[in-house]
Structure 1
Amino acid sequence: MSAIKPAALSRLKQGGKTSTASVVRSQSLRSVKLREHALAYAFLLPSLALFAVFLFYPLFKSVYLSLHLTDPRGRIAAYVGLDNFKELFASELFYKSLGATLSFTAWTVPTGIAAALLLAALSYRPMRGIKTFRFIFSLPVAISVGTGSVIWMMLFHPTLGTLNYLLTVVGLPPVQWLTDPSWAMLSISIMTVWMNLGFTYIVLLSGLQSIPEDIGESAKIDGAGPIRAFFRIMLPLVSPSLFFSAIVSVIGAFQSFGQIHILTKGGPMNSTDVMVFHIYREAFVNFRFGSGSAMALVLFAIVFLLTIIQFRFLERKVHYQ
């Protein structure tokens, strides 16, 4: 027994030292993680502050205003609960505005992506002088909405515009681009497709340039023509860029405001009265901030639902490398 006790005591001491070292090590690792987290949040603090001021506060304020009525000065007058939403869904103008927004989205999103994809397919290969064409195709991304709207306002002018001049040259009658209800939405859509073409073109061009060249060479060796190789091989590989462009384009279409405010102001006969412009007119022209905030929340819900649907169904066709 006397021979066993010293050995047992030594093992106990060694075990105690080991457990103490493990505790100290775990505490030091925990303190390192805490310092890393504190440093990360310190770097994120300016961004979080900007999000809080310009995103979260307006969102909560919109929810608050949507439950109240406001006086002509925009001040809170009375609590009405969900009456603003009931009035909104019973309004014929809301459904006309929703229809105009969906029509605008249908005109601009597929056309813009198809045009950008065509230009990217024609210019993604390295050729002499191709950088000049890439610069020209991506140039609209540097033009603001206001500047682009003024340019197209001059082009759409009924008597002095270039478009009507070209129509008269070929023997066609001039078109009232911005004052005819049957042409106003198409005119706004043409301008929007051109304005968004630069960004979509850059995204798709980057996607095509990221595809390894040996894939195209292998398809050529196997006897595939350029058109078949593009649609069967290149297009599936660029599907992540197409998916991203589709989501961004749909969100941008539902948020379009500047070109409509400058060119048509929702007219003629409410043919271009999209939801964002309707919100602007309801809140900042009629000073009905309650109903305007309710419509803004409905617009947020629609965009959120459409984004989920795109992720649910379109992402299945995306081929990630």
Structure 2
Amino acid sequence: MPLTAGSKPGRVPAAFVRRMKESSLGYLFLLPSITLFGLFLFYPLIQSVYLSLHLTDPRGRVAAYVGLDNFTSLLSAKSFWNSLQVTVLFTLLTVPTGIVLGIVTAALTHVKRPGMRLFQFVFSLPLALSVSTSAVIWAILFHPTLGILNYLLKQFGLLPVQWLTDPSAALPSIALMTVWMQSGFNYIIVLSGLQSISGDYLDSAKIDGAGPIRTFVRIVLPLLSPTLFFLSVISVIGSFQTFGQIHLMTKGGPGGSTEVFVYSIYKEAFINYQYGTGSAYALVLFIIILALTAVQFLFVEKKVHYQ
């Protein structure tokens, strides 16, 4: 280490000691978070990789090393491709609809009018409900004979729908419930993005003679694109990790029409007691989500207009 003016040979500079103390203090503050990440994220990930290369007995103990056989058998199974197809369809049904609903509700309540606080509370209310509570509410709505949805269809002279027992209606029904469950979060995120947009842009557009729809499409939406990009990434990840409402409402049925990817992991590991195959499922899901997120950042982010 080169000597500076006023320093003695063999003596550590005071600036270096100060930086070391600051770094040590920073790592000390990070230690609780690093410990939690290690216990609940990194260790389960390493354990999943280890189990995916082995066969296990019903107690979860390693029985034999099989290498990549779990992955090859997984990719050749019809159940894997069915769950992937169901998950992709579920994502297409929920993510765009949820984002559009969040934009519409946030835009309607962003204006300063009397009573807007009440509507803001109502639109954000689903965020406060748990999955189990939402499942009870929608199970009543979906009831084939006593549910309000079939009652409304009957009033319009339409035939009742078997919402959760018809293979063609089960997944759209769960998607409808999921859009409602996520509407509170989407609404709050989009509303926060709208509130962060400076009013000078809107005043300038009004002076130039732009109408409200043109202003919203040409000015507000581009300025809102960072918020929408964040919401789309989070929504896609969340849709691929959906489990609670599927487990409580349909358990993957009828006929596998609602068996999303995470429920296949649960069924393989905790119903069939195949922890090795279940771990392989989980790693494949991790790779799929990582790839989708990378694609969004590589291609979709180019259309984001940061202020």
The bucket for the TM-score relative to the shorter chain is over 0.9
| Amino acid aligned to 1:281 | K
Is 1:199 matched up with 2:199? no
SS at match of 1:303: helix
- Structure 1: how far apart are the matches of 2:288 and 2:69? 20
Deviation for aligned residue 1:18 = 6.5
Residues 192-238 of structure 1 show CA distances to partners (whole Å, capped at 9, x for unaligned) of 00000111111110001111111111101101000000000000000
Asked if structure 1 preserves the Cα contact closer than 8 Å seen for 2:106 and 2:191, the reply is yes
Of 229, 235, 243, the residue aligned with 1:243 is 229
- Structure 1: how far apart are the matches of 2:187 and 2:4? 62
Of 21, 25, 49, the residue aligned with 1:35 is 21
Tell me the equivalent position of 1:288.
Answer: 274
- Structure 1: how far apart are the matches of 2:89 and 2:130? 23
Deviation for aligned residue 1:71 = 1.1
Could you list the structure 1 runs, at least 4 aligned residues long, displaced by more than 3 angstroms after superposition: 21-26
Asked if structure 1 preserves the Cα contact closer than 8 Å seen for 2:197 and 2:223, the reply is yes
Structure number with larger C-alpha Rg: 1
Structure 1 pair 215–64 and aligned structure 2 pair: CA distance change class (3 A): same
SS at match of 2:63: strand
Structure 1 pair 29–155 and aligned structure 2 pair: CA distance change class (3 A): same
Matches within 5 A, 1:77-156: 77-156=63-142
Is 1:166 matched up with 2:152? yes
Tell me the equivalent position of 2:249.
Answer: 263
Percent identity of equivalent pairs: 60
SS at match of 2:255: coil
Deviation for aligned residue 1:27 = 1.5
SS at match of 1:20: coil
Tell me the equivalent position of 1:226.
Answer: 212
Structure 1 pair 18–102 and aligned structure 2 pair: CA distance change class (3 A): closer
Q: How many pairs were matched up?
A: 305
Residues 111-131 of structure 1 show CA distances to partners (whole Å, capped at 9, x for unaligned) of 000000000111112221111
Deviation for aligned residue 1:19 = 2.2
Asked if structure 1 preserves the Cα contact closer than 8 Å seen for 2:135 and 2:245, the reply is yes
- Structure 2: how far apart are the matches of 1:128 and 1:77? 67
Tell me the equivalent position of 1:179.
Answer: 165
TM-score, length of structure 2 as denominator length: 0.97
| Amino acid aligned to 1:130 | M
Deviation for aligned residue 1:60 = 0.3
- Structure 2: how far apart are the matches of 1:244 and 1:19? 51
SS at match of 1:171: coil
Is 1:276 matched up with 2:262? yes
- Structure 2: how far apart are the matches of 1:244 and 1:148? 25
- Structure 2: how far apart are the matches of 1:119 and 1:24? 68
Asked if structure 1 preserves the Cα contact closer than 8 Å seen for 2:7 and 2:13, the reply is no
Structure 1 pair 122–77 and aligned structure 2 pair: CA distance change class (3 A): same
TM-score, length of structure 1 as denominator length: 0.93
Tell me the equivalent position of 2:295.
Answer: 309
Structure 1's unaligned 5+ residue stretches are 1-16
